[in-house]
Amino acid sequence: MPLNVVILAAGQGKRMMSQLPKVLHCLAGQPLLAHVLATADALKPDCVCVVYGHGGDAVPRAFGNAGVAFVKQEPQLGTGDALRHALPQLGTADRTLVLYGDVPLIRAATLQAMLARGMPSVVVLTVELDDPTGYGRIVRDASGNVLRIVEEKDATVEERRITEVNTGIMVLPTAHLSAWLARLDNRNAQREYYLTDIVALAQADGVAVTAARAAAAWETLGVNSRVHLAQLERIYQARYAARLMEQGVTLMDPARFDVRGELACERDVLIDVNCVFEGKVVLGRGVEVGANCVLRNVEVGDATRIEPFTHIDEATIGAHCRIGPYARIRPGTRLAEEVHIGNFVEVKASTIAARSKANHLAYVGDAEVGRDVNIGAGTITCNYDGANKHRTVIEDDVHIGSDVQLVAPVRVAKGVTVGAGTTVWKDTPEGGLIINPKAQEHRPAWARPGKQKGERHD
């Protein structure tokens, strides 16, 4: 059935203590509003309208390509006034779903259950809370029918004892909206136009009002402070962790695990503590990720081991590799199977073929490395001339000793051995040894400098 979605996102969020609009604060690496937009999109609506206000045009700028309509509410005179601003943008769909930009964990399944109710009723999403402080209460008659929603500041002592509260999420018959919104008034403690007053107006017009109850309180929680934001972050991460473990992933401590994007894992993946996954990350069967690693937009092949404190960004890692500890793999890198990248090795915009190794203290940038290559400690590709980057090509079966400089553009041919301390600035022939001859001498009469009296070297 055709559907409009209106997302109310105009609140200032004073308790956030920030110049950033509340709905642009991030949960799991994405703005709060992005989560709500993704959930709305899952419902396949005909029209999505976001009502914004605080923070100027920062909200529409952040979602300029989202394919939704943005309407500014200024000044902010309440939720009813916000929906009134959205009316000109709504399509002809029979129903309008009202969501909130600071309620990021609401599930599409919960909203679908609301939409399954009959038309043209008003459907209000409610939840039971042990502590309902701050929420509007659901007032029912003796038969359990919803009569009205009363905001806490306007509630009587008896009404404040009610533990069923309004989440603010509603399904409304579009045809009635214009008339109902025109009849709202602001005769209340906050001098605002409450969207919740539509319930009483619907009752007066003989339109049925029903309540759908959320199965879990956490999905209806809003963000009003950084404390709330942190609480929802842990709820989000705990649920993500549970799904992964149900799919055969071992998390050494689910409470110390963060996904800020999408993480897809084959079976028997093991993830140690304090790892962060950003963007889209794919881990193959049997991959192990050591503690304190950060992976961003990475694909990792089967049975690869990523040692602790490794950062991998925009790269593809083959099967049966060993990376780290303390390695940095930068964007544009592609490692084939059985490659070893060891401690304090940095690789950038390079391809490294099967079974090649750079086990410690090296920099490989803008390079094409062949099969079965060994890159010694202290080796660097000198790829930048101060203005432009140049490529280094290292062909198959090359052995590079320690403290070697490869000055690009340069090609090290197949089967070459490069001696320790050598600077290679010309293309080499195949095979043999490349060295820069050096003379070692002994000066027996040489004396080591001594400290001047009273001199200190702290």
* Torsions phi, psi for 262 (to 5 deg): -135, 125
Q: Which CA distances in Å does 165 have to 128, 152, 241?
A: 6, 10, 29
* Torsions phi, psi for 253 (to 5 deg): -150, 100
Region label for 332, one of left (φ > 0), alpha (ψ between -120 and 50) or beta (otherwise)? left
Comparing C-alpha atoms, which of 210, 139, 205 is closest to residue 178? Answer: 205
157 C-beta neighbours (distance < 10 Å), count: 6
Q: What is the DSSP string of 95-138?
A: EEEEEETT-TT--HHHHHHHHTS-TT-EEEEEEE-S--TTSPEE
Q: Are 169 and 100 in contact (CB under 8 A)?
A: yes
Tokens representing residue 141 in the block: 């008659």
Instruction: Round to whole Å and give the CA distance between 260 and 152.
Output: 36
* Catalytic site includes residue 360: yes
Instruction: Round to whole Å and give the CA distance between 376 and 357.
Output: 9
Element (H, E) at 374: strand 374-375
Which entry of 320, 360, 390, 399 is annotated as an active-site residue?
360
Element (H, E) at 80: helix 79-86
Query: Which residues are identified as catalytic?
Result: 360
